[in-house]
Each structure stands twice: as structure tokens, then as C-alpha cells.
Amino acid sequence: MNSTILVGTMLDEKAELMNERHSQQFLIGLPESGKTTFLAALWHVLFEKDVDGSLQFANLTGDKTYLNNICKEWVGVQRLERTKLGMESTALIQLRDPKTELLTDISIPDLSGESFEQQWTERYAEKGYSEIIDQSEGGLLFIHPDIRESELITNASQLANRIKSPESNVEDNHSNEPIEWDPHKSPTQVQLVELLQFISVLNRRSSIRLAVIISAWDRVHENQSDPDKWLGKRAPLLMQFLQANSEKFECKCFGVSAQGGDIEKNKDELQSIESPSQRIELISTGHKKTNDITLPLRWTIRWD
């Protein structure tokens, strides 16, 4: 672990002690759920230190090329490349809390969404992933608002009643050819519950903090000030799973627009904002909107 101390000499002793702390965090989510965009915006805010009260960058061990590259594209409102299997990157970032002067190292690997999809489709987790999860104190689960919806039980029973009724014409409408099961087409929330079940098994801590990030929040038009309500309505299975497993997953929900808008439609508008950190919007239920994208991490590393 890098022991370089970047704060003033009066804090050296304290910082050295605090440097002992390392917090592994995970970042999970299906393909295109907003993980890399979030990481790019987070790196910008940590580094620029231009958002009041936000966590700040103190030091970094490892290669920062990846973080710098995604950040440069994010600042320029460019479309970020999809994270491919095998090109995932990890860096050890030392964070400083300006309110308390505490320091901690965190590592948050940016994994490809495909590696998470594979856990559902092939029921297999890579050894490296298992180790990260086992060592993690907490993490961030991403869900994009354009989710693949599930049929609700209430709708399913209506459909069943229609099929049963003698005047039903359901059978006439479509062929009765069974549709072959394709795990890729499963509802988003079903796949996410499976990811969390993997984590329950792989992580041996009695409890971990899980920040549920509903990304691209600028696309959300219902319950805009209430991400908890959005999740309960649009992903009820996931919400109920989290409530039923609240001893393992201490959970908090955030609506986050890391990009600030649509990369095509709002490009000029986004580019004209002088400070890129001002594009970011984050909301949690019962709190005001803020630009501080470090809040979920502050919560999962238990500095809040």
C-alpha cells in the first residue's frame, strides 16, 4: 500500500494511522447500466475538488491512464466506450474527507457488464471477481431506468383468466408455439437479484452497505424526487429482495445523472456548462438535489 502522505505535517501522524485503512468497494450492474460514466464523473469531482464538501483525491497507486481517459471523454461529452471483458481496470485511490481529514484507500474495479450478465446466464463467477466481492466492505449496484420490465403477478393472473374463459380469443391471436427460454431476455430485476444472491454467498461479512444507483436520472419523469419510490414501483422484486435481506444488505437508493443529460440531444447544452461538475445531479429520498457524486461512496465506506 502506498504510504505517501499528501496532507500538512500536523496531520502526518494521524494520516499515517489512517493510511492503514483500505476499503475494497464493488461496482456492479448489467451492460450499459451507467457504471463507467459514474466512475468518470466521480474521478473528475475527486480530482477537481470543486464540489463543496465532497470527498477528495489524495493519492493514487497504479495506472491512472484508464481513469484519465474516461474522464477526458466525459468532460468533452463524448460517448464512452463499452467496457469489454478483459479490459477491466482497477486503481487504488486514496481519498480524503475534507470535513474530518480522514484518509482511506479504496479500490473500485470497473468491470464489464457482460461479466455480470454471465453470472446469470452461465451461473459462473470469475475467481478474481469472487475475491473482490469477498474483500468488499460495500459497493454500488447500478440500474438504468430503461429496464427490461417484468410482467406483474396481477397481470399474469388476468391473462390466465382470459385464457381460461370460454369466449377467450387469446389462442386465436398467436400461435401456441412455445417460446424458447433465453436467459438474456430475463427481466432486469430478476438478473440483479441473482447478482445479489451471488454476493450473499461470496461475501462472508454479516452486513455490507449497498448503494443502489438508479443511473441516467435525467430520463426519469415519475417520482423524480423519490428514488426509493421509483425502485419500489419499477423493480418491486428487487426492492422486496433487499427488504427481506436487510440484515445482509444495508441499503440506500440514489438517483444519479452522472452525464447530466442525453449525450446526443443535450450535447451543446452540456458542453456550454462551464464547470463539468455542475452537470451532475444526485438525489436521495428526503434530501435536496446536489452535485456531490461522492455521497454514495461516503455512505458505503461508512464516513456518513
Ligand X SMILES: Nc1nc2c(ncn2[C@@H]2O[C@H](COP(=O)(O)OP(=O)(O)OP(=O)(O)O)[C@@H](O)[C@H]2O)c(=O)[nH]1
- Contact set with ligand X (CB under 6 A): 29, 31-37, 80, 82-83, 112-113, 142, 215-216, 218-219, 257-259, 261-263
Q: In whole angstroms, how close is the CB of 243 to ligand X at the nearest point?
A: 25
* Candidate list 83, 94, 277, 284; residue touching Mg ion; CB under 5 A: 83
User: How far apart are CB 87 and Mg ion at their closest, in Å?
Assistant: 9
Identify which of residues 80 and 103 has a Cβ nearer to Mg ion in the complex.
Answer: 80
Nearer to ligand X, 35 or 96 (CB): 35
Return the percent helix, strand and coil in the chain, to nearest 5.
40, 15, 40
CB proximity list for 143: less than 8 A, separation 6 or greater: 29, 33, 188, 192, 212, 213, 214, 215, 231, 235, 238
36 or 291: whose CB is closer to Mg ion?
36
The helix-helix angle for 35-48 and 65-75 (nearest 10°) equals: 90
The least CB distance from residue 290 to ligand X, in Å, is 15
User: Is residue 249 within 8 Å of residue 242, measured between CB atoms?
Assistant: yes
CA dist., res. 297 & res. 303, Å (int): 9
Q: Give the shortest CB-80-to-ligand X separation in angstroms.
A: 5
Q: How far is the CB of 83 from Mg ion (least distance, A)?
A: 3
Partner interacting with residue 216 (select from Mg ion, ligand X, none; CB below 5-8 Å by kind): ligand X
Cite the beta strand spans of 136-267 per DSSP E.
Answer: 136-143, 208-214, 249-257
| Residue whose CB is nearest to ligand X in the complex, by number | 113
Does residue 259 touch Mg ion according to CB under 5 A?
no
**Residue 35 or residue 234: which is nearer to Mg ion going by CB?**
35
Q: Candidates 12-20, 32-40, 167-175, 216-224: pick the segment binding Mg ion (CB under 5 A).
A: 32-40
Instruction: Tell me the residue type at 98.
Output: P
Q: Under a CB-based contact definition with an 8 Å cutoff, are residues 202 and 127 in contact?
A: no
Q: Among residues 112 and 188, whose Cβ is nearest to ligand X? A: 112
Q: By C-beta, is 18 or 216 nearer to ligand X?
A: 216
Question: Residues 113-151, buried b or exposed e (16+ Cβ, 10 A)?
Answer: bebbbbbbeeeebeeebeebbebbbbbbbbbbbebeebe
Contacts with Mg ion by CB under 5 A lie at: 35-36, 83
